[in-house]
Structure 1
Amino acid sequence: MRRASAQSIRQSLEDIAKEIGIPGMQVAFARGEHVNLYNYGVKKYDTTAYVYNETRFQAASLTKVVAAYTFFRLMDKGLIELDKPLWDYYQYDRLKNTPNGDKITARMVLTHRSGLLNWQGNVPSDAWRATPLTLQFEPGTDYMYSGEGFYFLQETLEHITNKSFQTLVEEEVLRPMGMKNSNIVWNDSLENIAAYGHYELTKPRKLGKYRKSNAAYTLYTTAEDYMRFIQKALLEGFGLKKSTHKLMMQKAAEAKKGENGDPTDKYVPCALGLRMQFNEKGTAYWHTGSNPGFRCFFITYPQRGETLVAFMNTDQGFPAMKKLLQLFFGKDQTFWAYDWREGELD
């Protein structure tokens, strides 16, 4: 693929944003150790608050990959095991009357095989936290994407360490990796640098302020910082035993599209805490995210040394994913990370 100039890429990003209706976008692309940063548009429609390198976006479900890495850091310290039921560490009140709830392991959470719904109740309300959980199948026997599983894992890690999840992420991830423009929970210093989510181009939402951390979705970060996390945690195995890093990046389970599965499932299996893509260019790792008003994704090809991170501040942003993949990686491959997920939200 012929390498495009920075100017032509910026023009292409503007064209994509205008075509789809994206108020603001932040993109990082790495080839080897060299990282290019691109910003487009505004934090909030009809303002002159432009997106720049330090603008904070909601990483949505890309938070789950950070949570998975945090788990492995604690596993390496001997504090928790991958295949021991979480109930053995922490008797989660929402599962106390749930048959088979005591069988859920960290491996099942990280591969979305816990049997828990994505969310059960109006997250993150107090009523949601008090809602008993139900299982859709016996843990470990099927696939269903679940944020509830990650929150169960979060409370388990908090219990065994006697530390808040915020403290754990700061100690195990953000500070060691030098992610100075990232927070796992809202604080008021973000007021003037955070992007607003949008229903669509001309309809901004209220500024989203998650004051209680959630391992499934509350990371505020930049494309540059998240790129740093991918390069260090996923590509280098920074802070992990070699065997643990290898384990994290191996195929761990099958994914499943719809109730009965789909032939394309084989192209997007689960690793532990992230997704894989098998296509004409080899193996990639990826994840998508969708908080109210935000759409984001990353994909990295370890053997090719190429990584793309993109944040967009609108509910309508998901169709940009394939266009961005084609812009940076070319059109001569099948992007199962998009095609398989199209129309679904994380």
Structure 2
Amino acid sequence: MNRRTFLRLLPAASLSPTQSQSQLKDLETQIPALLRSTNVPGLSLAVFKNSRIIWLQGFGVTDRASGTPVDSNTLFEAASMSKPVFAYLVLKLCEQGMLSLDTPLTTYTNRRLLEDDPRINRITARHILSHSSGLVPDWRSSDDPLRIASDPGERWSYSGEGYYYLQSVVNDLIGHTDPKQCGQFEAGVKVCATDFGESMQSRVITPLGMTSSGYVLNPDFAKRRARPHDANGNPLPYGTSRAIDLARYGAAGGLLTTPADYAKFLMQIIDPRPQDDHHLSADSLREMTTPQIEVSKAADYTIAWGLGWRIARTPKHIYFGHDGANPGFQCIAEACAADHSGFVLMTNSDNGMKVLEKLAPEISKRLHS
């Protein structure tokens, strides 16, 4: 599944936490066979109801070469599920008056993402977070250069490049750049190392109590992280968390986390702590999960994008969430504010979506009211 195709998650009858646990229990026996049939080495999940985790479990192995079992402490690459975490920081900076959602980003920086299109002067943080900046493609290449394909705010188009641009602006405001550590990425774009990982840790990850999450690989994380695998089940090289790579991809896909920790983040959106120097206000959280631009519409299922989140609407329910795919990792998170419930599923395989597209709707049916 690519980033433009979304799982359809439909609810069943309202269930209490105890009933939900009972309904979910039969899935536990089905998951090992599902992993075998899809050639997915490992899966970890967290499910919560009424803002309380009711199912936390690992299945399979972290690495086919070692056979180490997945458990609830195993870290996975969150891939594009990193984007809402970065969006949280952006909204906090807006609350602090360092950014405005609707002020062109060129107001805050001298860097020019594009030189030959004046529409760059109209792109705002709101456009970036809702994927309505007009920037295409998702990631540039020599064959498909970065450009603006539509007026900012006109239509939805998923853009990792947009998040890279906003990350660079945020770094100009609150971060530091090391001009001695630079390199070239897609289509020759030059990027220098920053302290993005440390900034996210101090401003978001630690204050929100996400003790098993981060961007910089420390010795503890190195021992606990799952290894990526290709579609044939072969182990792939571990990803990197070098400062220069985080400067390019950190906001868009650099988070390492566990399902339990990411569930903490979802629950913070639904049941927030009081606003302070790190926690968002109720108004900001409401804006974060309010549709900004429509992606697709049907009679019974509409998808829009909020500020960092995908918003799915049925006639009776509203869900927010995100999915993600890095080489060797695929994952999904979904939550419903109305019943304070949600789930996080993370796999260490390029085949992960084959599991997620079967398991996620089943969990949703048993969970959401």
* TM-score normalized by the length of structure 1: 0.85
In structure 1, the partner of 2:334 is: 299
1:255 & 1:265 partners in 2: Cα distance? 14
1:223 & 1:30 partners in 2: Cα distance? 11
Deviation at 1:145, TM superposition (A): 0.3
Deviation at 1:330, TM superposition (A): 2.2
2:234 & 2:318 partners in 1: Cα distance? 38
What SS does the aligned partner of 1:269 have?
strand
Matches within 5 A, 1:83-122: 83-117=102-136, 118-121=138-141
Matches within 5 A, 1:263-278: 263=298, 267-278=302-313
| Pair 1:10-2:28 in alignment | yes
1:198/1:293 contact within 8 Å kept: yes
| Pair 1:180-2:211 in alignment | yes
Deviation at 1:33, TM superposition (A): 3.0
List gaps (5 residues or longer) in structure 1. 123-130, 257-261, 334-346
1:59/1:220 contact within 8 Å kept: yes
Q: Deviations over 1:260-295 (max 9, x none)?
A: xx7479611111110111125501111110011111
Matches within 5 A, 1:24-173: 24-35=42-53, 36-117=55-136, 118-121=138-141, 133-163=146-176, 164-173=195-204
Matches within 5 A, 1:214-229: 214-229=250-265
Deviation at 1:48, TM superposition (A): 2.0
1:46/1:202 contact within 8 Å kept: no
The one-letter code of the counterpart of 1:226 is Y
In structure 1, the partner of 2:295 is: 255
What SS does the aligned partner of 1:297 have?
strand
1:250/1:272 contact within 8 Å kept: yes
1:73/1:172 contact within 8 Å kept: no
Q: Deviations over 1:64-89 (max 9, x none)?
A: 00010010111111100000000110
1:234/1:249 contact within 8 Å kept: no
Deviation at 1:243, TM superposition (A): 1.8
Q: Deviations over 1:112-140 (max 9, x none)?
A: 11111211138xxxxxxxx9732122222
Q: Deviations over 1:309-339 (max 9, x none)?
A: 0001111111222322233222899xxxxxx
List gaps (5 residues or longer) in structure 2. 1-12, 14-18, 177-194
| Pair 1:241-2:281 in alignment | yes
The one-letter code of the counterpart of 1:228 is K
2:208 & 2:152 partners in 1: Cα distance? 34
2:301/2:314 contact within 8 Å kept: no
Greater Cα offset, 232-241 or 314-323: 232-241
The one-letter code of the counterpart of 2:157 is M
2:367 & 2:145 partners in 1: Cα distance? 47
Q: Deviations over 1:187-211 (max 9, x none)?
A: 4543222111111252111111131
In structure 2, the partner of 1:326 is: 361
2:363 & 2:38 partners in 1: Cα distance? 18
1:255/1:266 contact within 8 Å kept: no
1:60/1:290 contact within 8 Å kept: yes
The total of aligned residue pairs comes to: 321
* TM-score normalized by the length of structure 2: 0.80
2:77 & 2:83 partners in 1: Cα distance? 12
Greater Cα offset, 188-197 or 280-289: 188-197
Greater Cα offset, 164-173 or 18-27: 164-173
> For the aligned residues, what is the CA RMSD?
2.5
The one-letter code of the counterpart of 2:78 is A
1:63/1:215 contact within 8 Å kept: yes
Which structure would you say has the larger RCO, counting Cα contacts within 8 Å and 6 or more residues apart? 2
| Pair 1:206-2:225 in alignment | no
1:274 & 1:155 partners in 2: Cα distance? 20
Deviation at 1:232, TM superposition (A): 1.0
CA separation of 1:241 and 1:134: change in aligned 2, threshold 3 A = same
Q: Deviations over 1:237-256 (max 9, x none)?
A: 66112221221121111115
The one-letter code of the counterpart of 2:280 is L
1:275 & 1:74 partners in 2: Cα distance? 21
2:284 & 2:272 partners in 1: Cα distance? 12
What SS does the aligned partner of 1:290 have?
strand
The one-letter code of the counterpart of 1:246 is R
